[in-house]
């Protein structure tokens, strides 16, 4: 057995994750070719590196198949109900920043806030006979955010890619999507609502609340966290 650490399998997120651990005295590396999803931890016995897509890591943590994992906070909040009962956020890593926000067409000059959106949604349904459509892949977070802010007359439509283009393509009237710079919103003539920030996401290190099976692995986990300067709550 070994303590399993799940990290993103490729791209800039993997590079920054490796850098974060390296500055804390833990060297992670890919093993084999770039097409192989295998990795190793140098200089620390009893830790197995597992390379996964960022979207898989929350599920693997909840199942207990990995003990630690690096992924975006947006993915955890969206995909894991009552996530904090099943995993612990140990550290925000300071990279992978992106905002999940609501945006509407710039030509909607009278819609700048959630209250404006609520009024526009009611008018839209009265005029067109169906609810205003908001394109997103973050159904859980968006629905809860709108519920808490009293916006009711809408429907979510699923969009797994090129969400900003759905308004231009007439498949949605508004969007809720991740934005890092705002450039894509600007290019698609969209504007974020002034109070439409749903979640500020970044990469974070999570611990599964399902403890490693053996005492030896629990000790390895405690030693590992001490090495990188992270403390668990229990």
How do residues 94-106 score in pLDDT, each as one tens digit? 999 999 999 999 9
Domain identity same for 106 and 191: yes
Domain identity same for 171 and 212: no
pLDDT reading at 34 higher than 60: no
What distance in Å separates the CA atoms of residue 61 and residue 2, rounded to the nearest whole number? 15
Q: What is the domain range of residue 46? A: 3-96+202-227
Kindly state whether residue 125 falls inside one of the protein's structural domains. yes
pLDDT reading at 8 higher than 90: yes
Domain identity same for 92 and 177: no
Kindly state whether residue 177 falls inside one of the protein's structural domains. yes
Confidence at residue 32, expressed as pLDDT on a 0 to 100 scale: 60
Kindly state whether residue 23 falls inside one of the protein's structural domains. yes
How do residues 40-72 score in pLDDT, each as one tens digit? 788 888 899 999 999 999 999 999 999 999 999
Domain identity same for 134 and 197: yes
Domain identity same for 68 and 147: no
Domain identity same for 127 and 78: no
Domain identity same for 179 and 115: yes
Domain identity same for 145 and 68: no
Kindly state whether residue 234 falls inside one of the protein's structural domains. no
Confidence at residue 74, expressed as pLDDT on a 0 to 100 scale: 96
Q: Residue 137 is part of a domain; what is its CATH number?
A: 3.40.190.10
Mean pLDDT for all residues in the chain: 92
What distance in Å separates the CA atoms of residue 100 and residue 103, rounded to the nearest whole number? 10
Kindly state whether residue 148 falls inside one of the protein's structural domains. yes
Beta strands per DSSP E along the chain: 3-8, 27-30, 39-42, 47-52, 68-72, 87-92, 98-105, 132-136, 154-158, 174-179, 190-201, 203-208
- Phi then psi for residue 226, to 5 deg, are -65, -40
Domain identity same for 30 and 91: yes
Query: Which residues make Cβ contacts (< 8 Å) with residue 234, sequence separation at least 6?
Result: 88
Q: pLDDT grade, residue 157 (50/70/90)?
A: very high
Domain identity same for 162 and 211: no
Kindly state whether residue 232 falls inside one of the protein's structural domains. no
Domain identity same for 34 and 150: no
Q: pLDDT grade, residue 80 (50/70/90)?
A: very high
Kindly state whether residue 156 falls inside one of the protein's structural domains. yes
Domain identity same for 61 and 176: no
Number of folded domains that form the chain: 2
Kindly state whether residue 233 falls inside one of the protein's structural domains. no
- The residues facing 91 across adjacent strands are 205
**In this prediction, what percent of the chain has a pLDDT beyond 70?**
95
Q: What is the average per-residue pLDDT within 106-110?
A: 96
């Amino acid at each position: 057995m070994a303590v399993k650490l799940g990290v993103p399998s490729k791209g800039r997120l993997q590079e920054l994750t490796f850098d974060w651990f390296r500055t804390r005295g833990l060297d992670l590396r890919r093993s084999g070719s770039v097409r192989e999803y295998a990795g190793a931890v140098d200089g620390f016995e009893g830790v197995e590196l597992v390379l996964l897509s960022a979207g898989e890591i929350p599920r693997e943590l909840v199942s207990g198949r990995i003990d630690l994992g690096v992924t975006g906070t947006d993915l955890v909040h969206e995909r894991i109900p009552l996530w904090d009962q099943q995993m612990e956020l140990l550290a925000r890593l300071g990279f992978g920043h992106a905002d999940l926000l609501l945006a509407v067409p710039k030509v909607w000059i009278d819609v700048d806030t959630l209250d404006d959106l609520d009024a526009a949604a009611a008018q839209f349904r009265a005029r067109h006979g169906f609810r205003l459509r908001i394109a997103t892949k973050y159904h859980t977070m968006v629905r809860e955010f709108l519920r808490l802010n009293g916006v009711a007359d809408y429907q979510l439509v699923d969009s797994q890619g090129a969400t900003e283009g759905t308004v231009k393509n007439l498949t949605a009237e508004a969007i809720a999507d991740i934005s890092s710079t705002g450039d894509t919103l600007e290019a698609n003539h969209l504007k974020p609502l002034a109070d439409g920030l749903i979640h500020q996401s970044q990469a974070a290190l999570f611990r599964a609340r399902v403890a490693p099976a053996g005492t030896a692995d629990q000790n390895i986990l405690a030693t590992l966290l001490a090495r990188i300067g992270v403390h668990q709550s229990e």
